[in-house]
Chains A and B, each alone.
Chain A
Amino acid sequence: MLAFLYQRIRNNILLFVMLLCGAILASAIVSCIPMYSNAIFQRLLIKDLEQMQKDTTKYPGTYSVEMIGKSREEYQKVDKIMYSKYASQISLPIKDKTAVIITDPFNIEEERKTKTWRKSVISSIAAFKNIEEHITLLHGRLPENNSQNDVYEVIVSQNAAKNLDLILNNTHILTKTVSYSETKTIAKVKVVGIFTYKDKADAFWDEDNYRNLDDRIVMLESDVERITENRELLKIYSMKWMYFYDYYELKSENIKKIISTIYEQRLTARVNLNLLGVVEEYLSRQKDLSITLWILTLPFIVIICFFTLMISGLIVKNDENEISVLKSRGAGTFQIFFLYIIQSLIMAGIAFIIGPILGKSICRIMGASNGFMELVSRKSLPIRITAEIYQFSLLAAAIFVVFVLIPAFRACRTSIVQYKRKKNTENKQAIWEKFFLDIVVLLISVYGLYKFSDRQNVLQKTGASGQELQIDPILYMISTLFVIGIGLLFLRLYPYLINCIYQLGKNRWNSVLYYSLINTRRIESNARFIMLFIILSISFGVLSSNQARTINQNLEDKIRYETGADIVLYPYSRVVLDSPMSPAKSFIPPPDPVALRNYKPEVLEYDEVPYREYQNLDGIEGITRVFEEEKSIVKGNSVDLEEVKVLGIVPHEFAKLAWFRNDLLPFHINKYMNVMTQSPNAALLSKDMQEKFDLGDSISIQWGKNKENTLLCRVHGFINYFPTYNPYPDNNVTFASEELNGVKWKTKSLVVVNFSTLQSKLPGIRYNIWIEKKPGVTDGTINDQL
């Protein structure tokens, strides 16, 4: 049997290798997607957690289990199983741990009243395991365990000393109010040390712990046990075990497990993990990204499926005779099919193992290339092959097996006699042809396209922008469907088309043409498959490269839009900002445009180089002055707007050199510029101000501390877009899925006024210089002259 199989494979080695390649590629691509998204998410995850630590001062890796109001024995019991039953379930390395015991509150009084009046202070005892490693003693020493002594030694934090009014080396009495008139003494304590936190950034000083010590006295754990022996007087209020995990080791694939563990543990105890919230929100984002990536990969998968079907079809066709030989010798359908199963399992097995490894390389290339993926990550990604990846690989292999076996199954079922008959009656209709799947797919995609343009209009109206991936997955999917539909439809019509040509000149064709026409009229189903495959791969190739170009173009446009011109100079400090992108070069990793824009020189020293000298620079096509102020106040009759961006421009110069796509505004930008030129007091307002101001309204614009910086203007028009103007400056939306649906971003308003008007009113006004280079001139040449 194996020898037979070996001979079979050897005989068909070329097709077999091709099929194997298809299998490996399928597995590679399929496993590549989760690998890639995991890598991106790994990075984002850590960043998010770092951000969380910064924002909340809570250490994200803090895990705590709290018990309240239980007996001491119970605490001890839980303490024993804490690590094995709770902490060790979270699959993260433990950096540090502690356990905090807190007692019920009591009053603290001085033993010998030094002051005539002293406010009654309520506090409680806290015992921290390992606290000594995380504090610095300012005064005194650490408490010592001398159980004979009935004065307990305690230390307090600097804050607590202040809050509780405790003095070093003083002895205090802890009392409990039993009734209105009666208080009982619990114990005596002596403050032997005052400490401060060694390193507040230390995970140990999680916000809660740190707060805990602001109004508590710290005792040794053994002392706490001793002092709470008499439950009547003082009880343990709560015990909290804390583990500080190294969250940098958090792997995105473990998140689900961790979340479910926490929820499981919550059934039996008060368990908390600080990073839980972040991480939960995270999963949904991960899903979104994965979906996007899957959709982007859809064409590849479709092509690979077709490829597999095609090659498998060829192999089976090659084998048809052999199948009939075996059949005529009485081999059962399954017996023959079994050969194919084994054969495909061998291939799938190889693909299953090799696929992810190849996928890893693909991911590397994707991550390192300057394509659109660059946006998401610039450093090399933490790409890892995990068990989950092998699940995907397995899935791909399984699908591959199915696709290989479809033609094999069909062939195995036909008997030898049917086979002979089939040879006579060629050209049966394929399934898709019978059920008009091509038409169905086409209709779906056309409908989708229609819906999509609807949605696009809505998006346009809401003015979505931001750092999106700029691929709409739905559009991509629709396009893919459309391509498949058209491909199939073409195949359906192809014979008629040929027939038509044939009929047209039946009597005119020469014999060669005649013969080939007749031949092509009846194409075999396998040949049709190859045609379909070619149609699909070419169209997907075109589609993808188009997509890449669009993404690139959009990025480029965006950077240009945000920068405004080839070169923007800030002459007052002589900081030269080179344009981030030379036009016409594609796929140069774009520097972060926002960062560029926001770069403001520290010293706003006006460098008195006359504007004329800039005008005399070599290699410039156009030059203009632009006044830019991000934070001004616009006042109308009844409304004030703050943080409005003001652009002062010289319209006729500006129009010539500013980068601007003309399809962004209802009229050509020159029309707006003409209006500005004609009326020096004209102002163009961003669309969002339309609700507040009318055309013809007078507005005053004010900026800086100096009240003199005021300009009166008249509203002459509203604009959605303008060079450098981004209504959503503060959100860095990373993924398309995070569209602005439902989220209200704070928008920024814009006012465009005449620079000359500004300057005549305020002669010493600062301005930037926008320069357009002559074609072929590099940024360097201009830089050198400066």
Chain B
Amino acid sequence: MADNKNLVVECDNLVKIYKAKDLEVVALQGLDLSVEKGELTAIIGKSGSGKSTLLNIIAGLERPSAGKVFVDGKDLLKFTDKELKEFNRSSIGFVWQNTARNIIPYLTAQQNVEVPMMITGHKSRSAWAKELLQMVGLGNKRNSRLGELSGGEQQRVAIAISLANSPRLVLADEPTGSVDGRTAHNILEVFSRLNKELGITVVIVTHDMRISKMVNRVISISDGMIGSELFKTDCLSHNIDNSDIQSFISKTHDEFAIVDRKGRMRIPEELMTKMNIKGGQKLTIHENDRGFEVFVDSLSK
């Protein structure tokens, strides 16, 4: 599994079941995912589809009920609590949607960035924090507190914080959830710049389709499984009406259906409606000279 050196994240058949009193919630049901080094990946999906759960598991904050997670080739499940802490501290940078999650309100931006370094016990915190803030474009707001920063600035501070310990992987759980479109765009730009300049692997969770235009790879999750993956089309004209995001995405990205390890395949819902097929529909796969083609079995219609 972990032999591919280029894989930063590798999830195999992840299952997460929450038990709350009498009912069980299946948040993830057999999810496979791999993220390559230096990749900027977005995960989209409806609310409750299990995105946060997935991210928490990758960050080592939660343990899956079944399945395997490898980050940087290391099996998270084999970590002791201490190793997990250490991993969490130095390999992962986390950006939450909720600013209160990211920033301690009574500290200045600079101090906030220094906190993770303090936890790890870094020396010369001040200079690095300064540089990070410069990097996210907040060089002049180093001494502002939470209340003195706009929503977008707060999120950028959060990004700086997540980078404080020079992690291999930055996970962002809906970082643009509570800001307007333009700001979201700015934030994403920061991410993609960091990704390009520092080569940091970034996974961004969002239910905001707009994000995806900046991102090479978009993974869509539904019901705790990968629904489909979209890759940026290389040849593209950029003058597109922003209001129709759905169409925009489909124009900027190619959507692929994904077959999992057990050979199961999911067809995105939109495609289902488009193809006018329902559950229990029979498909036939034919081989031809280009490869394989899937046909909807017209007989059963």
Contacts and interface: CB of A to CB of B under 8 A. Distances in A.
B56 A324 contact: no
Nearest to A11: B106
Contacts of A325: 100-104
A463 interface: no
Given A1-B118, A4-B118, A416-B61, A330 B102 contact: no
B29 interface: no
Contact of A330 (B103, B104, B111, B120): B120
Chain A, interface size category, equals 20 to 34
Interface stretch (B38-46, B88-96, B149-157): B88-96
Nearest to B96: A328
B20 A424 contact: yes
B119 A331 contact: yes
Contacts of A3: 111
Contacts of A605: none
Contacts of A324: 101
B85 A332 contact: yes
B269 interface: no
B111 A417 contact: no
B107 interface: yes
A456 interface: no
Nearest to A8: B106
A321 B90 contact: no
Interface of chain A, main secondary structure = helix
Given A8-B106, A330-B116, A417 B56 contact: yes
Interface string A313-330: 000000001101110111
A254 interface: no
Contacts of B107: 4, 7
Contact of A7 (B100, B111, B118): B111
A417 B62 contact: yes
Contacts of B106: 7-8, 10-11
- Most chain B CB atoms below 10 A, which of A1, A7, A8, A328: A328
Interface string B98-128: 0011111111000100011011100000000
Contacts of B94: 328-329
Chain B, interface size category, equals 20 to 34
Interface in A643-660: none
Contacts of A519: none
Contacts of B102: 325
Contacts of B116: 329-330
Contacts of A335: 119
A425 interface: yes
B86 interface: yes
A322 B20 contact: no
A424 B19 CA distance: 12
20 contacts: A4-B107, A7-B107, A8-B106, A10-B106, A324-B101, A325-B103, A326-B119, A328-B59, A328-B88, A329-B94, A329-B161, A330-B89, A330-B92, A330-B116, A332-B119, A335-B119, A417-B56, A417-B62, A424-B20, A425-B21
Interface of B: 20-21, 56, 59, 61-62, 85-90, 92, 94, 96, 100-107, 111, 115-116, 118-120, 161, 165
Given A1-B118, A328-B88, A416-B61, 18 more contacts: A3-B111, A4-B111, A4-B118, A7-B106, A7-B111, A11-B106, A322-B104, A325-B103, A328-B101, A330-B86, A330-B87, A330-B89, A330-B119, A331-B89, A332-B119, A417-B62, A424-B20, A425-B21
Interface of A: 1, 3-4, 7-8, 10-11, 321-322, 324-326, 328-332, 335, 415-417, 424-425
The 6 closest A-B CB pairs, nearest first, are A330-B89, A11-B106, A330-B88, A329-B116, A331-B119, A417-B62
